[in-house]
């Protein structure tokens, strides 16, 4: 992929998930991942303390395999202006969507490349947007003028009409009648899928987990009178939020092709779950020295099955909303079952890796946990490029 040299005509001001903490102009925060780090930190600290005090830590968890270096990074040197203008011949062109076409990328951390390198600082630093995200790669491949307002932790409301962080205006404000292409991944934070997963970490494949008092599984803490509360939220509020967002996108960009990407598999189906299960412990005896296993998968067998079903429901409601809005839906969930974070080789999604800041008193998830790695972003880029070629020649 050819590199691009661009000049910065302006500087952006540098700048997860709990909507109750958001106000119109909150103090500028320290960047946080999509998962609720304060909650996760308490859960993980309790987990490590329990393991070490009980002396029952599993040894020999599969160490993380460093992600293979990606292809040439699409992003230029930073800082850069918005939009990113096409200044040289792209590697590929489309007859129906020529170089210089206005492309706006919307969405959450799965669009923003959360956890990857080359931070853009856009639209604000707290968004944790990466120049290696799939919108930058698509723009560089086809020579589009990209305005990337993707932001980790974004919900449907943040896309439509809410100020997510100071300086991060509602994402729809980037759209206009001149916009020719829109891409979007949204809904996971509406469902709190990632926050829920982050609270489901377990000691073993049979539990307990630390989202409840010695709960055998995370699912058991989220069922009320036999009703799966997370699934009910997806079928109701989440489905409505995604549908409203896509309708507003269509109204704000009437001349654009709108492409909605689903989420790649985080939790595999039964056919792609090893007979021995997926469990890889997040702590071991090395944790006594402040070392944690890398790329782990500390979920009970029951929760892997349940969370797969939750993600499947999210995929279904997003597909239905896209079809109703006349948008193109790119199915990636079904296609990536063999590449979930459970996979020991060829995963498109990072597993869980912990880090300790200030001893074991504070333990957090490393940025990028349960999010696409570079192989995953290349897959999202290629699938999007295939759709664009099919549509625009």
Residues taking part in catalysis:
109, 371
How many whole angstroms separate alpha carbon 332 and alpha carbon 262? 6
Query: What SS3 class is residue 356?
Result: strand
Instruction: Using CB atoms within 10 Å of the CB of residue 250, give its burial: 0 to 12 exposed, 13 to 18 middle, 19+ buried.
Output: middle
Element (DSSP H or E) covering residue 316? helix 301-324
Between the alpha carbon of residue 276 and those of residues 160, 224, 271, 272, 339, the distances in Å are 44, 30, 13, 11, 17
Between the alpha carbon of residue 190 and those of residues 35, 78, 107, 255, 375, the distances in Å are 12, 31, 12, 27, 26
Which positions ≥6 away from 154 have C-beta within 8 Å?
Answer: 107, 108, 109, 127, 164, 171, 186, 189
Strands 227-228 and 328-330: unpaired
């Amino acid at each position: 992929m050819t590199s691009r040299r661009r000049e910065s005509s302006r500087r952006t001001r540098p700048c997860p998930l709990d909507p109750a903490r958001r106000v119109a102009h909150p103090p500028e925060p320290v960047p946080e991942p999509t998962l609720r780090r304060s909650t996760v930190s308490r859960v993980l600290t309790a987990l490590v303390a329990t393991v070490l005090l009980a002396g029952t830590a599993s040894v020999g968890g599969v160490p993380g395999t460093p992600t293979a270096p990606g292809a040439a990074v699409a992003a230029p040197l930073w800082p850069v202006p918005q939009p990113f203008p096409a200044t040289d011949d792209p590697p590929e062109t489309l007859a129906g969507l020529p170089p210089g076409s206005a492309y706006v990328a919307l969405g959450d951390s799965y669009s923003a490349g959360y956890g990857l390198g080359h931070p853009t600082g856009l639209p604000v630093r707290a968004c944790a947007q990466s120049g290696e995200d799939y919108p930058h790669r698509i723009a560089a491949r086809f020579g589009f003028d990209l305005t990337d307002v993707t932001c980790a932790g974004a919900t449907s409301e943040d896309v439509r009409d809410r100020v997510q962080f100071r300086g991060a205006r509602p994402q729809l404000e980037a759209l206009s009648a001149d916009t020719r292409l829109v891409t979007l991944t949204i809904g996971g934070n509406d469902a709190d899928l990632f926050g829920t997963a982050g609270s489901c970490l377990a000691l073993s494949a049979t539990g307990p987990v630390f989202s409840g008092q010695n709960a055998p599984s995370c699912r058991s803490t989220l069922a009320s009178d036999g009703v799966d509360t997370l699934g009910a939220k997806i079928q109701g509020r989440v489905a409505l939020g995604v549908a409203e967002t896509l309708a507003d996108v269509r109204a704000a960009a009437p001349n654009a092709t709108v492409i909605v990407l689903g989420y790649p598999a985080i939790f595999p189906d039964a056919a792609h779950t090893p007979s021995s299960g997926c469990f890889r412990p997040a702590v071991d005896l090395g944790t006594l020295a402040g070392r944690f296993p890398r790329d782990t998968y500390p979920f009970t067998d029951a929760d892997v099955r349940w969370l797969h079903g939750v993600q499947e429901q999210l995929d279904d409601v997003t597909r239905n909303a896209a079809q109703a809005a006349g948008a193109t839906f790119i199915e990636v969930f079904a296609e990536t079952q063999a590449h979930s974070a459970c996979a020991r080789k060829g995963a498109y999604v990072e597993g869980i890796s912990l880090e300790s800041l200030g001893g074991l008193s504070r333990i957090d998830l490393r940025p990028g946990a349960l999010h696409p790695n570079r192989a995953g972003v290349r897959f999202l880029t290629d699938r999007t490029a295939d759709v664009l070629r099919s549509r625009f020649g």
